[in-house]
């Protein structure tokens, strides 16, 4: 302890510790009354209380005030959920495509006459859907027109209708998937 640590006029006052705790707001109701009564009578303790308040302010001014920030404990779980959702939607799209193809095959088979020609028709259908998909992905009306005119020319009205329905369904599922994906990433961005 240095000499400056001991040089304190207040040390002689029996109420020094009480005044210190009072300034710090760490007193009971009875202690508060006692401290306030003493302060009213003792000039040295009033000065001491003022100096202690200034010390409190000085130390408080040194405290940092960080911006509010919540740790995002849900982020990994949300990412896992989003991942699971994507897989589920993709699986649903595949099932819809496969189911659509089977339904179409069942419609076409009697008209085609045999299983072999039905399979050939189905192959045509898959190629058509693939080319349509390529056309859609290219997002070019021109590409789509070329794909439609080259691939759909020999197709029956039933094939056209079924293909369009399946592609429409796949497109709808795909856009839903994209929208959910972008919403999930926007939510994650806003949390950050």
Partner 1 sequence: MEATRATDEELVAAILEGDAALYTDLVERYRGRLINYLNRFLGNAEESEELSQEVFLRVYRALDRYNPKYRFSTWLFRVARNAAIDLIRKRRLKLVPMQRVGRDGQAREREFESEERDPYRTLRNLERRHAIGAAIDGLREEYRELIQLRHFAEMTYEEIAEFKGMPLGTVKNKLFRGRRMLKARLADYLTD
Residue 14 binds partner 1 (CB under 8 A): no
Q: Which of 33, 36, 37, 51 binds partner 1 (CB under 8 A)?
A: 51
Hey, what are 147's tokens?
């794909």
Which window, 62-70, 103-111, 125-133, 174-182, contacts partner 1 (CB under 8 A)? 62-70
Instruction: Quickly count helices (H) and strands (E) in the chain.
Output: 8, 0
Report which of 142, 10, 33 is spatially closest to residue 134, judged by C-alpha positions: 142
Residue 192 binds partner 1 (CB under 8 A): no
* Residue number, 80 or 179, with CB nearest to partner 1: 80
Q: Return the number of other C-beta atoms located less than 10 Å from residue 49's C-beta.
A: 19
Which window, 2-10, 37-45, 112-120, 121-129, contacts partner 1 (CB under 8 A)? 2-10
User: Shortest gap between Cβ of 7 and partner 1 (angstroms)?
Assistant: 6
Residue 58 binds partner 1 (CB under 8 A): yes
User: Shortest gap between Cβ of 63 and partner 1 (angstroms)?
Assistant: 5
22-26: which pairs have CB atoms within 8 A and are 24 or more residues apart? 22/49, 23/49, 23/52, 23/53, 23/56, 24/52, 24/56
Residue 80 binds partner 1 (CB under 8 A): no
For 68, phi and psi rounded to 5 degrees?
A: -60, 135
User: Shortest gap between Cβ of 27 and partner 1 (angstroms)?
Assistant: 9
Residue 28 binds partner 1 (CB under 8 A): no
Residue 55 binds partner 1 (CB under 8 A): yes
User: Shortest gap between Cβ of 83 and partner 1 (angstroms)?
Assistant: 19
* Residue number, 56 or 179, with CB nearest to partner 1: 56
Q: How far, in Å, CA of 121 to CA of 112, rounded?
A: 8
For 67, phi and psi rounded to 5 degrees?
A: -65, 145
Hey, what are 77's tokens?
């779980």
Q: How far, in Å, CA of 162 to CA of 185, rounded?
A: 35
């Amino acid at each position: 302890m240095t000499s400056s640590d001991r040089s304190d006029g207040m040390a002689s006052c029996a109420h020094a510790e009480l005044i210190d705790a009072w300034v710090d707001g760490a007193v009971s109701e009875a202690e508060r009354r006692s401290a306030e009564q003493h302060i009213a009578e003792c000039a040295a303790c009033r000065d001491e209380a003022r100096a202690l308040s200034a010390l409190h302010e000085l130390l408080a001014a040194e405290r940092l005030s960080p911006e509010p920030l919540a740790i995002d404990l849900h982020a990994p779980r949300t990412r896992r959920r989003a991942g699971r959702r994507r897989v589920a939607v993709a699986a649903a799209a595949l099932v819809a495509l496969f189911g659509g193809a089977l339904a179409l095959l069942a419609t076409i088979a009697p008209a085609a006459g045999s299983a072999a020609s039905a399979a050939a028709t189905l192959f045509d259908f898959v190629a058509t859907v693939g080319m349509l998909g390529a056309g859609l992905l290219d997002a070019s009306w021109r590409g789509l027109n070329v794909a439609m005119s080259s691939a759909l020319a020999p197709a029956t009205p039933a094939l056209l209708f079924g293909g369009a329905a399946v592609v429409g369904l796949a497109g709808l599922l795909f856009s839903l998937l994209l929208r959910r994906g972008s919403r999930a990433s926007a939510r994650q961005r806003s949390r950050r």
